Each structure stands twice: as C-alpha cells, then as structure tokens.
Amino acid sequence: MARRSVSVFSLSFLDAMTCGLGAVVLLYMVINASVVGRTGDLTATLRAETERLESEVLDGQRNLVELQNAVREIEDERVAAHGLSSRMLETVAEVEKELATFEADTLARRQHVNQLMTDLRTLEDSARRLSASTPSLETPGDRVRTHVGDGDRQYLTGLKVGGRRILLLVDSSASMLDETIVNVIRRRNQTEERRRQAEKWQQAVATVDWLTTQLPRDSDFQIYTFADHAKPVVEGSGGRWLDAGDRATLESVVTGINEVVPAGGTNLYRAVSVIAELDPAPDNVILLVDGLPTQGKSAKRSGTVSGKQRVKLFNNAVKQVPNKIPVNTILFPMEGDPLASSAYWKLAIATDGSFVSPTRGWP
C-alpha cells in the first residue's frame, strides 16, 4: 500500500493560525488587564469625588439652615426696629407739640415783659408817693408783739394791715423752697428740717412774724397755709377768729408757722374758699404767695401747667373774693412766672388792696 504524502503547507498554515490565535489571546489579556486597572483607578477617583461632593452638600445644607435662622433673626429685628421707629415718631410728634406750646407761652411772656416793667415802675412810684404822704398810724406802745430785725430795714408802708378781722393766707407749696425751679426740685427731696430752713421759706415765716406785730390790739385775725389744701396754722381753730390782743395766741401762731414744711402744689382756689368759711367774713385779706396757682377746684394735677392755664386757674380762684374785701398781696420771687406780678397787681387794684414785692432779707 502506498504511503500518503504529508503536505508541508498544511502544517505551516496550522502553525501560523495557532500562533495568530495565541497572539490574539495574549493581546486580549493584555488589553483586558489594562482596562481593569484603569477602571479600578477611575472608580476609586469617582468614589472619592462623590464623597467630596456629598460632604459639600451636607455642609451646604448646614449653612443653609444657619442662613435661614439668620434671616429669621434679621426679620425679627426688622419688625422690632419698625415698632421702635413708630414709637419714636410718636414721641417726636408729642415733643414737637409740647415745644410749640412752650414757644407760644414764651412769646406771650415776652410780649408782657415790657408792659409788666411799666406796671412795676408805676407801682413803685405810687408806693413812694404813699410813703411820703401817709403818716404812720401805729404807736409802738399799742403792739402786743415786736419784731426785731438785724440792721436797717426798709419796711413797706403801703401794706394795709388794719381792720377788725384780718385773714392771712400763706403759700406753703414746694415752690416756696427757692427762687429757681432747679433748686426747688433739689430741695423738695431733702429732709423736713432742711426744707423748713430754706432761705425763701424763712423769709415768708419772718414776714408772718412781722405781720403779727402790726395787728391792731382790738382786732381778730386768722392765719391759714395753703398748698394742695388750706388749713389753719393753729390746729383746731378752723372757721373761727383768734384774738389779736392775746399774746399767747400770737406766740402759738408764730410757733405753728415755724413747724410748717413746704410741699405740694399751689391751690389758690382752696385758699380763697377760706373767706366763705369764716363768720363774720374778713374785712382785710393779706396773701403771701410766690406765683400763679398750679391747681384748681378739683385739685387734680397734670404733668405740665402752661402759663395760660395758670392765669385761668387764678381768675377762677379770685372770682370767689366777695366785693369790698381788699386783698393785699406780698409776692415773693419765683423764676418762670412773669405773669404773676401783673395778675396780683390787677387784683390789688380791683379790690382796693395793695401789692408789694419784698427785697431779699425783708423784713
């Protein structure tokens, strides 16, 4: 049997195909390994980036919550500021209204200054003429008490102390503590003893002391102090007359006035009402005061009393004065009340009384 011949080409072709397949498999394995490595690296990178972004998102959410809280706080502050602004605007409007009232009062006061100065000069001239032409009707031996001053005293002879029944009304309000508003506010918070020793009040007390030495021996008298209310200096003597010829009574009056402590507002209406309480009525009224009243019949006090309101309170009070009863006023100094001198001077003229404004240290 003949042997089959082997083809060299066929074997070579198979070798080539096998080598090619091996090369392809090797190439695939190399590429696959490279792809797997790169994929792992990329996955790790992406995972890290994802975690970073998630962290930023969480931080952003926390910041958002903080910003929302800050916005709420700012909104609350804005609402509070708006309310405060509204209140401030209302306060400014009230202050502007008060300033307008004060400016109007100031203008009215300035308009009265020149007229007031003229009236005062006329009054001083009249007092000097009366002093020169009127002889003294008093004799030292007729006095129950005497008042001894220090040094030379210029006693005002225009004051009418005569009469059968003499009523003294003494202002004991807080304004009698000093001549300036600032010092009045300061002194009214001091002790009672310090208030009694205030220079202005001591001048009023000395004036009452001096007036008791001028009372006719055969006359009756009564002394009331007034602030928020009117009350007699001698406790228990309200509504009745005291004997000016009784030395003990006069001494008790002086002791009583020395125990008074100035306090409260000025209620002239209550003071003048005393005239109607006395029977028989007085035939001479001597008023010791330092300005226009700050209270009326109701005795209710508001925060501020304007000059026009005080004039109205004064007019309402003096309407109670019966006809033919002279009112003699001793006006002590007080700042911020320029209309007082004119008002009390007109009262003296209308009632046929007198008006004096004592110098410091009198009597």
Where in the sequence is the domain holding 351, given as residue range(s)? 159-299+307-356
* Strand duo 284-289 + 165-171: pairing: parallel
Query: What CATH number is associated with residue 328?
Result: 3.40.50.410
Most distant pair of Cα atoms in the chain: their distance: 200
**232 and 319 belong to one structural domain:** yes
Answer with the one of 68, 86, 108 that is the final residue of a domain. 108
Q: How far apart are CA 176 and CA 260, in angstroms?
A: 11
Domain assignment of residue 113, yes or no: no
> CB burial class (10 A; 0-12, 13-18, 19+) of residue 340?
buried
Q: What angle do CA 64, 68, 70 make, to 5 degrees?
A: 115
**209 and 343 belong to one structural domain:** yes
CB-CB neighbours of 112 under 10 Å: 16
Q: How far apart are CA 275 and CA 84, in angstroms?
A: 53
**260 and 327 belong to one structural domain:** yes
Q: Is 243 helix (H, G, I), strand (E, B) or coil?
A: strand
**255 and 344 belong to one structural domain:** yes
Domain assignment of residue 239, yes or no: yes
Q: How far apart are CA 344 and CA 292, in angstroms?
A: 9
Domain assignment of residue 346, yes or no: yes
Instruction: Quickly tell me which residue has 């709420």 as its tokens.
Output: 72
Concatenating the DSSP letter of every residue in 75-118 gives HHHHHHHHHHHHHHHHHHHHHHHHHHHHHHHHHHHHHHHHHHHH
**218 and 349 belong to one structural domain:** yes
Q: How far apart are CA 315 and CA 331, in angstroms?
A: 17
Q: How far apart are CA 57 and CA 310, in angstroms?
A: 75
Q: Please report how many Cα atoms fall inside a 13 Å half-sphere around the Cα of residue 231, on the Cβ side.
A: 14
**329 and 212 belong to one structural domain:** yes
Domain assignment of residue 231, yes or no: yes
Q: How far apart are CA 223 and CA 253, in angstroms?
A: 8
* DSSP helix, strand, coil percent of the chain (3-state; round to 5): 55, 10, 35
Domain assignment of residue 288, yes or no: yes
Q: What is the mean pLDDT of each run of 10 residues along the chain (363 residues)?
A: 60 79 84 73 81 87 88 89 85 82 70 72 70 49 49 51 94 95 92 95 96 93 96 94 94 96 95 94 96 86 80 95 94 92 95 91 79
Number of domains in the chain: 2
**322 and 188 belong to one structural domain:** yes
pLDDT at 175: 95
Residues facing 330 on adjacent strands = 288, 356
Among candidates 363, 221, 195, 227, which has minimal Cα distance to 291? Answer: 227
Answer with the one of 66, 89, 108 that is the final residue of a domain. 108
Residue 130 CB contacts under 8 Å (≥ 6 apart), including other chains: 157, 158
Q: How far apart are CA 320 and CA 127, in angstroms?
A: 27
Domain assignment of residue 92, yes or no: yes
**57 and 179 belong to one structural domain:** no
**101 and 166 belong to one structural domain:** no
Instruction: Quickly tell me which residue has 């006359």 as its tokens.
Output: 219
**164 and 103 belong to one structural domain:** no
pLDDT at 132: 56
Q: How far apart are CA 250 and CA 254, in angstroms?
A: 6
Q: How far apart are CA 115 and CA 122, in angstroms?
A: 11
Domain assignment of residue 23, yes or no: yes
**36 and 95 belong to one structural domain:** yes
Answer with the one of 42, 73, 108 that is the final residue of a domain. 108
**201 and 344 belong to one structural domain:** yes
Domain assignment of residue 2, yes or no: no
Instruction: Quickly tell me which residue has 């509504």 as its tokens.
Output: 239
Instruction: Quickly tell me which residue has 């509204």 as its tokens.
Output: 86
